[in-house]
Amino acid sequence: MAEEILKGGEYLIKAVDCASVFTPEEFTDEQRQIAETTEQFIASEIIPHHDEIEKQHFEVVVEGMRKCGELGLLMMDAPEEYGGLELDKATSMLVGEKIACGGSFSVAFAAHTGIGTLPLIYYGTPAQKEQYLGKIISGEWCAAYCLTEPGSGSDALGAQATAVLSSDGKHYILNGTKQFITNGGFARLYTVFAKIDKKHFTAFLVERDFDGLIVGPEEKKMGIKGSSTTQIILENCKVPVENLLGEIGKGHKIAFNVLNVGRFKLGAGVTGAAKMALVQGVKYAGERKQFNRPIASFGAIQEKIANMTAEIYASESLIYRLAGLLDTKLATIEKGIDNYYDEYQKAIEEYAPECAIAKVFCSEVLAATVDEVVQIHGGYGFVSDYPAERFYRDERINRIFEGTNEINRLLIPGMILRKAMKGELPLQSEAMKAFESLMTPSFEELDDSVPFAAEKLLLKNLKTLFLILAGTGVQKYMDKLADEQEILIAAADIAIQIFALESAVLRAEKNCATASARRKELYRAAVKVFAFAASEAAGSAARRGAFYIEEGDTLTMILSGVRRFSKYDATGLLQAKRTLAAAAIEEEKYLF
C-alpha cells in the first residue's frame, strides 16, 4: 500500500516520520552537477561583472540570461515537448539557491524563470507556447510580470488597468499603468493583467514592440540596484485577441497560483543569499583583530555565527522538505492528460500555506543574517567597499516581494482554517483535544532512546498551543476572525516556527542514522540552538495572541498552558553554540 501523502497544513495535527521528508543530503549526482554548473557560471560570468551590473549596464544582464539559456538553466520547469527539461522542484530550487550568489542578476533570473515564464507554461495554449516559450527558455527574450499598479499592491484584484475589444474584434485595447515591474527595462514579453470591460480580471501576453506599450524610467532603488524596475504604461496598447492568456475573468487564478510558486522559489533564493552572507561574516571575523585577537575568538561574535548557522540550517531544511512534498504530490499526476496543468496547479495550491511559510521564514532568516554580518564588520559594514553593505540593502526587498510578509502571515492561518471548513483538515476535533489537555495537566518523561526526544516533545506541545490559540480565536470571533489580523499573525508565527523546527529536527534525525560522529554533533548542535530560538518565538507569539483574545480566568488558564507548552529543556545550549561557531570559523563555510 502506497504511503499517504501529507496534506497541506496537516503537519499541525500529525506527527511526521523522518523517512517521509526530503533533505539536501539526498541530492542525486545529477542534481549536484547542475548545482556545480550553476555555481561555476555565477563565479565566472556574473561576479566579475558585478560592478557593471550594479551600474545598470543591462546588456550584461541580458547576455548573462542568454548564457543561462545555453546552459539549460532557464528551462527547468518547461515541458519537454517545447524544448524544456521539466525537472523536479528540488532541482529548480537548488538552481535558484545557487543563482542567489549573483546579487542583482539573481533578481532578473528569478523573475524571468518564475513569474515571467510560469504563466505561459501553466496557462498558455499550444500556439502561444509554440510562439513564445522557445524564445523565453533559450534566453533570446527576457520575460516580466505586470500585476502591481500604483494604487494596488497587495490588493491585486483592485487593479484599474482596462481592456476593451476593438470594433473589428481582432485586438484588445489595454490602458493603465503597471508599477515596480522587475525586468521591465529589457523584457521582450510581459504577462499583463487588466479588467475586460472594467470587470473581468484577465491576463494577456504583451510583446514589447506592440503599439501603445511604453517602458517607464528606471526606479531609483535602495537595493538590488543592478536589477531593472520600471513602470509599464499602456496607452491604447493593441494586443491580438489570440494573446489572451487563460480564460476571460480568470486572471486571479493565474496571479495567485503563480505567486505560490514564486514564494517557495524566493525561499530558496534567500537561503542561498544567507549562506553567502554568513561565509563573508565568518571570514571577516577571522581576519579582523581587536585587542590583539581575531574577533572570531570572542564569545559575542561566536554566538552570532552559531545563531546564523542554526537559522540557515532550519531555512534550508524547510525549503527542501517543501520541495519533496511538492515533487511527491506532482508525481501522482499522469503526464499527458488533457487537464495536466489544472491538476498540477491544484497540487501546488495544496501546499499554499507552506509556500507562504517558506517565503516569510526564509526571508526573515536572511534579514537577521545580513544584519549580524554588518554588525560583525562594525563600521566597515556600513561602507560600500565591503559586500556586507550591499547585502544589507539588497535583502530588504525580499520581505516585500511576492506579497508582503504581513499579507503572507495573514494567508497562512486563513488558508488552513478554510481547509478545516471544507472538511479537509479535522482542526475542530483536534482543537477540542488540545483544550482537554490544557485542563488536564500531564508531565511526560523524556525517553532517551528516542532521537531528539526533547525537540519532538516541544513540537507536539507547540502544535497543541497552535490549536488552542486558533480554536479560541474561531470560537470567539467565528467568521469575523478574518478581520482580527493581529490574532491571525500571532497564530501564523506559531505555525511558521513549528514547520521550520520540525523540518530541522526530521532532517537531523534522518541523516544522523548514517552520519559520522562529527556530523552528528553538528546536527544536534544546530537543532538545539534553533529549537531554543523557536520555542522562544512561538511562546512569545502565543502569549501575545492569548492577551488579544481572552481575559480573566480563561486568559490565566491559557497563559498557564503557554508556559507549559512552550517549555524546552535547552541544557547544553552554550556548548552547542560554541560547537557550531568553532566549526564554522575553522572551515570558513556554511557547515551543512
Percent pLDDT > 90 in the chain is 94
Cβ-based neighbour number of residue 510 at 10 Å: 21
Residues assigned a catalytic role = 402
- C-beta separation of 206 from 192 below 8 A: yes
How many Å apart are CA 485 and CA 502, to the nearest integer? 26
Q: What is the band of 32 on the pLDDT scale with cuts at 50, 70, 90?
A: very high
pLDDT at 2: 46
| Phi, psi dihedral angles at 109 (to 5 degrees) | -60, -50
- Core vs surface per residue 476-501: b (16+ CB within 10 A) or e: eeeeebeebeebbbbbbbbbbbbbbb
* Nearest of 527, 521, 458 to residue 310 by alpha carbon: 527
* Nearest of 230, 202, 227 to residue 216 by alpha carbon: 230
pLDDT tens for each residue of 490-510? 999 999 999 999 999 999 999
User: In whole angstroms, how far apart are CA 403 and each of 93, 251, 513?
Assistant: 19, 17, 39
pLDDT tens for each residue of 558-581? 999 999 999 999 999 999 999 999
Superfamily of domain 426-587: Butyryl-CoA Dehydrogenase, subunit A, domain 3 (1.20.140.10)
CA angle 539, 468, 319 (to 5 degrees): 60
Comparing 431-445, 476-490, 506-520, the range with the smallest average pLDDT is 431-445
How many Å apart are CA 405 and CA 63, to the nearest integer? 33
Domain layout of the chain by residue ranges: 10-141, 145-245, 251-318+342-405, 426-587
Matching CATH number, 145-245, of 2.40.110.10, 3.90.550.10, 3.40.50.1010, 3.50.50.60: 2.40.110.10
Across the range 72-96, mean pLDDT stands at 96
Residue 78 pLDDT more than 80? yes
pLDDT at 137: 98
Percent pLDDT > 70 in the chain is 99
- C-beta separation of 174 from 112 below 8 A: no
- Core vs surface per residue 417-436: b (16+ CB within 10 A) or e: bebbeeeebebeebbeebbe
Which CATH number does 251-318+342-405 carry? 1.20.140.10
Across the range 500-525, mean pLDDT stands at 97
Q: What is the band of 330 on the pLDDT scale with cuts at 50, 70, 90?
A: very high
- C-beta separation of 318 from 456 below 8 A: no
Q: What is the pTM for the complete model shown?
A: 0.96
Across the range 503-519, mean pLDDT stands at 97
Superfamily of domain 10-141: Acyl-CoA dehydrogenase/oxidase, N-terminal domain (1.10.540.10)
